[in-house]
Structure 1
Amino acid sequence: MESEQLHRSYLDLTTPHVADACMRLDIAVRCAPPGTVPLWSGTHLVGRARPARHFGSVDVFLEAIDRAEPGEVLVVDNAGRQDEACVGDLVTLEASRAALSGILIWGLHRDTAELRTIRLPVFSLGALPVGPQRLDPRDPAALESAMSGPHRVTAADFVLGDDDGVLFIPLDRADEVAQVATTIRDTERAQAARMHLGNTLRNQASLAEYIAAREATPQTTFRQHLRSIGGEIEE
């Protein structure tokens, strides 16, 4: 899926919609570590992953940006370190000027005020004023893959982030994931609209029927029941 189509397809999809769609499609749900949050609320980030592993110098980020296509997301692997910030205002401004969609950091950022002014979506584990005080040997594959918690991310993935967190999804499954997530989103919105009109979720979910079915067949699950009636609340 091309960058522009990716942005159109996921513009109005949240990470919960997409996580549920991945579960339904038996795609492994890969999330950035809990606590990976945007610098401001209401952020929505989507784009193909452009990985870069940090070893103490920003040159790896500049090389990654130089290789990147517009709309991609710089995925920074700093091994979740809490003793240094690895991305600041200049790298963020460079990424913005190169038309990247945003930056995801497994680690910390700094220059928070400047980053908010630049307004490029940045997700990280938090802020710290001090930058790297080390320079480790660089892996030759530093631009080929990045880790985010336990998950390996490559250019074969795309990134979706919002206030609930960040997901990594195989790029070659983007279209079908978007289709299923759209169905889930529309069903949930319709259910919410009916609730505002007085039709309870218990009634929409035919809860009494489910309880009766479960008593008759204990292995019956609520998810199976919801699928049978076309409802959504969990996947």
Structure 2
Amino acid sequence: MLDENVRKFYESVQTGVVTDAMYLLGLEGWMTDVFPLRPEKRIFGKAFTVQAVRIREKGEPNYTIYDLSEKWEAGDILVVDAFGENCSLMGENIAHTCMYGGLNGVVLNGRCRDFGQISELEMPVFGKGPAMELKNKRFKYGMYQVTLANMAGAQVRPGDYILGDVDGVLVIPSDRLEDIMYQAEMIIEVENEMEDAIRNRCSVAEVKAIASKKKKARA
């Protein structure tokens, strides 16, 4: 069970702050070109992963999002890797299945149709943009709850935490949530100190001295 203070922190913190904290700890986990359908939307929760695979022959496992709605837990984030294909991976009906199925959000390495309707949903959806073409016939959803080796440039393991806002999406190892939070709290303090210095027209040397505090991990 995730500590409530940790949850509240990640539900409000900017991804840029967490990025700086991850750099300090030598961690990687940034998706490329995956953004919220509406800029004000945020996302945080535990990853439930789905991997698209190229079709080789008939009879291989082929799951639908409807099938998987009986597998995930309330509060999860559905993370779908479909190689960044330009076809639609999701429409309004599937999005409603995700939302009413208790997900905290959806992250697609791909696109969706019914973009306008889905963007208005309370549940946040992140992806690479709109598309009209239906899901590519050359791939299927062949595996779930497996490691996604290249989810828009990031590795995602089942149970990792997903954090996203208008700047993009981060992948946070579940066993490092508190470590990252500890560093991020320091970074927030430094950022506030920098803002005060800039507002008060302090010298460049003073501002740079404050900024340098972010380059060393908190003990």
After TM superposition, the score normalised by the length of structure 1 is: 0.78
| Larger gyration radius, structure 1 or structure 2 | 1
Question: Of 138, 156, 173, which aligns to 1:170?
Answer: 173
The RMSD of aligned alpha carbons is 2.7
SS of the equivalent of 2:12 reads: coil
Q: Which moved more, 1:116-125 or 1:129-138?
A: 129-138
Does the CA-based 8 Å contact 2:29-2:155 persist in structure 1?
Answer: no
Output the amino acid matched with 1:8. K
Aligned partners of 1:188 and 1:153: how far apart in 2? 29
- Aligned counterpart, 1:45: 43
Output the amino acid matched with 1:166. V
Aligned partners of 1:12 and 1:138: how far apart in 2? 32
Does the CA-based 8 Å contact 2:63-2:140 persist in structure 1?
Answer: no
- Cα distance per residue 1:60-117 (max 9 Å; x no partner): 32333322222211001111112x1111111111111122111100011110111022
SS of the equivalent of 1:67 reads: coil
SS of the equivalent of 2:49 reads: strand
Question: Of 55, 61, 68, which aligns to 2:65?
Answer: 61
SS of the equivalent of 2:144 reads: coil
- Aligned counterpart, 2:201: 198
Fraction of identical pairs, as percent: 21
Work out whether 1:107 is the aligned partner of 2:110.
yes
Does the CA-based 8 Å contact 2:75-2:102 persist in structure 1?
Answer: yes
Alignment of 1:45-194 (within 5 A): 45-54=43-52, 59-82=63-86, 84-134=87-137, 136=139, 139=142, 141-146=143-148, 147-194=150-197
SS of the equivalent of 1:11 reads: helix
Aligned partners of 1:109 and 1:85: how far apart in 2? 4
Residue 62 to residue 144, structure 1, CA distance change in 2 (3 Å): farther
Output the amino acid matched with 2:146. E
Does the CA-based 8 Å contact 1:51-1:155 persist in structure 2?
Answer: yes
Residue 167 to residue 181, structure 1, CA distance change in 2 (3 Å): same
Gaps of 5+ in 2: 56-60
Residue 233 to residue 111, structure 1, CA distance change in 2 (3 Å): farther
The alpha carbon displacement at 1:142 in A equals: 3.4
Gaps of 5+ in 1: 208-222
SS of the equivalent of 2:8 reads: helix
SS of the equivalent of 2:78 reads: strand
Aligned partners of 1:17 and 1:234: how far apart in 2? 14
Does the CA-based 8 Å contact 1:6-1:46 persist in structure 2?
Answer: no
Aligned partners of 1:66 and 1:189: how far apart in 2? 45
